[in-house]
Amino acid sequence: MSIFRRRNADAIWQGVYRSFAEVPSAGAGFAGDVWAEHLSRQHEAARSGAWNDEFVHEHEALLLLICLIGRPLHIVDYGGGYGASYHYVRAMLPNVLMRYDVVEVPAVVAAAPRSGDELRFSTSFDDGVPDIVFVKSALQYVEDYRGTLASLFGLASRFVLLEKFSGVTSASYVSAQRNVEGSVFPYWFLSIDEITGIAKDARYDCVLHRRLARMYDQSEFPVELRMGQASTLLFARKSS
């Protein structure tokens, strides 16, 4: 059974707010059993090969980057749950040598299943310069997204990949995500121009911006605030 509500399934978000504090949050959120159950099912699906087309599309750019680098590499997956993306990458590219670090909240790190030395879990960024920083559908849940993004760029990786990114052409704003059973989360819709500006200040260029296939229903929002489709944003570090 999915944790995501089936009734009015397309009405994922409600309301427009200026800050996390204004959102009428409820439930245990990412520290709760419901979210842990969701991560566990996602993890097992990835390990068993039971991924859908949407999951595959969300990892196309990551797989291409790994093939481009082509040597033993280090990936930091910010907000990577129990490591579902790692297991997908390992299934698709079984011969690639890599270190894969998942950075998550303490409750997720404590509960994550361990599966060898290659996949590591931490609540903070470890020493060393990764080759790829990968952020899939996570930055929108971070209250201080500017500071977090600056820290991610500060790792000085060759590439920073924001996947399934909730980007809008308007100014950034907060909404309430309401489709997770038992919880209401604050959720950022982030200005693409603002994010690319932060990247430029950190000496990164946006080398890829694409829209993913799924169209989200925000018909109750003003037209200028609607996301439509989530994005892939790939940033490459300037060489000089």
pLDDT digits (tens, 9 = 90+) for 119-130: 999 999 877 899
pLDDT of residue 34: 73
Tokens of 46: 């990835």
**Domain assignment of residue 10, yes or no:** no
- Neighbouring C-beta atoms of residue 11, cutoff 10 Å: 14
Between 28 and 172, the higher pLDDT residue: 172
As a whole number of Å, the end-to-end CA separation of the chain is 51
Q: Which domain holds residue 151?
A: 16-237
**Domain assignment of residue 82, yes or no:** yes
**Domain assignment of residue 116, yes or no:** yes
pTM over 0.85: yes
Mean of the pLDDT values across residues 40-63?
A: 89
pLDDT of residue 117: 82
pLDDT of residue 145: 97
pLDDT of 45 over the 60 cut: yes
Residue 151: CB partners within 8 Å, gap ≥ 6?
Answer: 125
**Domain assignment of residue 3, yes or no:** no
pLDDT of residue 61: 98
pLDDT of 140 over the 90 cut: yes
Cβ burial of 39 (10 Å; 0-12, 13-18, 19+) is: buried
**Domain assignment of residue 66, yes or no:** yes
- Distance between CA atoms of 234 and 230, rounded to whole angstroms? 13
pLDDT of residue 31: 67
What's the total number of domains in the chain?
1
Q: How far is CA 40 from the centre of its chain?
A: 17
**Domain assignment of residue 115, yes or no:** yes
**Domain assignment of residue 157, yes or no:** yes
pLDDT of residue 7: 41
For residue 57, what is the domain's CATH number? 3.40.50.150
